[in-house]
Amino acid sequence: MTTPDKVAQNLPLNPRVFLILLAFAEGSGYGYQVKKAVDRLSGGQVQLDVGSLYRAIAKLVDGDLIREAEARGNPDEDDERRRYYELTPLGRDVTSAEARRLNDLVEIARVNELLNSPGSGR
């Protein structure tokens, strides 16, 4: 079971790390898939180079936020050298907590009229 202290120790997340965890929230995957997912999720604003991606993955594994997945991709398209990763329960809780934290900040910005409210036309 994940404790609130373990979650809090990991916050706030670096934006690139948050995007990597969001990619794993969509399902397990290997490096290149995660790289493409981060590009898509960020609307092309964040493009990870291979070295920084794999350093981040290693840190996420060491921090028990992701783990190597047992399930693999389609055997006809799979390469046995690929390592697939997935969120751990702690990783899911940390990703969720970061999303809530960011949402709370956005709400504060809206209250202070720094952002348009959805549907307000402002």
**Segment 42-64, tens digit of pLDDT:** 999 999 999 999 999 999 999 99
Query: At which residue do the structure tokens 């970061």 appear?
Result: 98
2-12, pLDDT tens digit by residue? 899 999 999 99
Q: Hey, is 66 helix, strand or coil?
A: strand
8: its two tokens: 């809090």
Domains of the chain: 4-111 (1.10.10.10)
The residues near 68 (Cβ < 8 Å, ≥ 6 apart) are 61, 83, 84, 85
Q: Could you tell me how many helices (H) and strands (E) the chain has, helices first? A: 5, 2
